[in-house]
Structure 1
Amino acid sequence: MQTYLDAKRTVDDRALNRRVLDRFEAALTARDGPVSIVELGAGVGTMLVRLAAWDRLPERVSYRLVDRDAASIARARDLVPEGLEDAGYTVRWRDDRDTESATLVATHELAGDDGRERDKPSGLLEETGSVPASATATTTTTTTLTITFTVADAFEIEAQADALVAAAFLDLVDLSAVLESIETLLEPDGVLYAPITFDGGTGFVPIDPLDRDIERWYHYHMDEVRDGGSSRAGRELLTALRRRDWETLAAGGSNWVVRPACENHSGVDEAGSPNSPNSPNSPNSPDSPTTHYPASEQLVLEHVLHTIDDALAEIPATRMPFSSAEQEQWLDQRRTALESGVLEFVAHNLDVLARRKAVVRRL
């Protein structure tokens, strides 16, 4: 699981809705004094590293990563310091890093005409609003992050936070119970940032006649078999927030799109998908471009296929409109396409930023 959580980082990087992220940054920087952030279901800490590397955090932040999986938190203790160092931070452990209460302190000097460096990731991760190369730095500020790691159920902790982050998490839990807990964890004017919340779309390319039934029963497992969560969690979150007197400050799509890229971009299909067995884009053609998946994203697709297979295995075969042999054939074809570098995957997600309506203030 930890390998998958790390591998999907680049997929999330592309998917995150920048407009919602901008509003989240504005909500954080509008607060006076140090800002406390608690991340629920923090996994291996990729969201924290992303926010720091993209310069989305205020100057003084207390950040608590919470996950009930001890292996994920143990991996976060390794990956977070490494990621922050790669982003230009100086890191040190205030205590023995192996102790449960160990605190990581990370500092970074930001230089620019407004005191905030706007060096954003390049390429697929490029952000807008960067300072021109000719700009002369006139001020320097220091960002200080105080980071703690907690192994616990997200809704059994005691905390009071200015912001709660729940990335790819609220689609795994009971929303009504979760929002009640979140309201006890947030300061009166705190915000909830819930990016990459799954919202009812799972699709593959090349298209297969069995896709629609596979998707329907995979989502049925989320809704009726799995302990907690929903295949329509994104839209259900928007509805639940309105009913509980929250204000949705921003919301937008954050679809996952995982596809191969070509090493040869000279006018050929970037995805390298075959149109026919003898087409120039076919893997069997001598003129075919070399295809590969960015970063470790092939592992993401392997995990998705494995998850679907496991989910369908928990549903009685007699209930489904396809046989076990047809399901196995579908899976084999998907794995073959993956190994050939032509499998593509799309999942529909929503990013949501919200605050209790009674205490909303304009950003």
Structure 2
Amino acid sequence: MTDHRAYLEAKRTVDDRALNRRVLERFEAILAARSAPVRIVELGAGVGAMIARLAAWDRLPADVVYRAVDRDQVSIERARERVPEWLRANGYEVDRLGTGSDDEGEHSARTTFVAHSGERRLEITLEVADAFAIEDTADAVIAAAFLDIVSLEEAIPDLEELLVPDGVLYAPITFDGGTTFAPRDPIDDRLEREYHRHMDDVRPGGGSRVGRRLLTQLPGAGWDVLEAGGSDWIVRPRDGRYPAEERVFLEHLLETIDDALAALPEPALDSADRQRWLERRRGELEGSELVFVAHNLDVLARRC
């Protein structure tokens, strides 16, 4: 089984390509118009790749207080290592301010860093916490690849509680119903339907069409959708190999799909077909032949 932290780190370059630049630029412009310091809360922050990305791409205002939470302690522990490394690699000086628990060290619930680059100041808190159990007041909430794995009906009121009036939600890489592999296999269509059925009927919260649901449910709850655009994951070999660590990304994805299909009640695919498909895809991955495309949406919305 692929280590989940390794998957999240391998996913960084996939997300880098996928993010919709028009939606991101609108988000950047809204943040730039806010009074300093700009408060950002990220839900489901994983290993902290979004923090590093926004800093490296100069998409943040000059003075930011950034709180990143994830309920997975192992991911936050990894973020405490990787975020300072990524920031230093992009010219930031990083100092640790301290922890928020009695137990010092990597297992503390909360760690805060401050990073400087020229006139830029970025205060970052990495915290083990349930995203919808925290209390805060933020100018912006980031929920990357997150709202498609939680209950949207429960999440929207919690998001409203976190945001100041006129605050914004940036929800990039929200899955929206497309899981495609190449070369094609005779059972691909059935397998995709079954995989999405697991998202909709078995997995608690989320679903396979959350991207488009945001475009109707947010306005229905009184929000203004400011921008939306496609952010498809596309992973393919180049010059006989996968970029960066994207082979790890695909290995984890194949395992995730197989586990989901195995958990389905009354599956439409028998185990022999599923095993043959998995072995074929692993062989194509090993030979740097497998191509993967998933359809996502980036959504930027304002709390009215």
Is 2:243 the partner of 1:294? yes
**1:207 match:** 184
Aligned mate of 1:314, from 263, 268, 282: 263
**1:68 match:** 71
Pairwise CA distance, 1:101:
3.8
**2:116 match:** 107
Return the alpha-carbon distance in structure 1 between the equivalents of residues 111 and 298 of structure 2: 31
Q: Which structure 2 residues correspond to residues 187-336 of structure 1 after superposition, within 5 A?
A: 187-262=164-239, 291-316=240-265, 318-320=266-268, 322-336=269-283
Q: Which structure 2 residues correspond to residues 338-353 of structure 1 after superposition, within 5 A?
A: 338-353=285-300
CA offsets per residue over residues 16-61 of structure 1, 9 Å max, x none?
0000000000010001121000000000000000000000000100
**2:85 match:** 82
- Secondary structure in 1 matching 2:164: strand
**Percent pairwise identity:** 60
Instruction: Give 5+ residue unaligned stretches, structure 1.
Output: 110-141, 263-290, 359-363
Q: Which structure 2 residues correspond to residues 169-188 of structure 1 after superposition, within 5 A?
A: 169-188=146-165
Pairwise CA distance, 1:70:
0.4
Count of matched residue pairs: 295
Return the alpha-carbon distance in structure 1 between the equivalents of residues 163 and 270 of structure 2: 48
Cα distance change of structure 1 residues 31 and 319 upon mapping to structure 2, 3 Å threshold: same
Pairwise CA distance, 1:319:
3.8
**1:7 match:** 10
Residue 154 of structure 1 aligns with an amino acid whose one-letter code is: A
Return the alpha-carbon distance in structure 2 between the equivalents of residues 5 and 102 of structure 1: 20
Return the alpha-carbon distance in structure 2 between the equivalents of residues 300 and 94 of structure 1: 33
Return the alpha-carbon distance in structure 1 between the equivalents of residues 260 and 267 of structure 2: 14
What TM-score, normalized to structure 2? 0.95
How large is the RMSD of aligned CA atoms in angstroms?
1.0
Return the alpha-carbon distance in structure 1 between the equivalents of residues 274 and 198 of structure 2: 15
Query: Whose helix fraction is larger, Structure 1's or Structure 2's?
Result: 2
- Secondary structure in 2 matching 1:102: strand
Return the alpha-carbon distance in structure 1 between the equivalents of residues 201 and 110 of structure 2: 38
What TM-score, normalized to structure 1? 0.80
Is 2:36 the partner of 1:22? no
Pairwise CA distance, 1:315:
1.2
Pairwise CA distance, 1:245:
1.1
Residue 107 of structure 1 aligns with an amino acid whose one-letter code is: H
Q: Which structure 2 residues correspond to residues 33-72 of structure 1 after superposition, within 5 A?
A: 33-72=36-75
- Secondary structure in 2 matching 1:55: coil
- Secondary structure in 2 matching 1:178: helix
Return the alpha-carbon distance in structure 2 between the equivalents of residues 106 and 252 of structure 1: 31
Larger Cα-atom Rg: 1
Residue 175 of structure 1 aligns with an amino acid whose one-letter code is: L
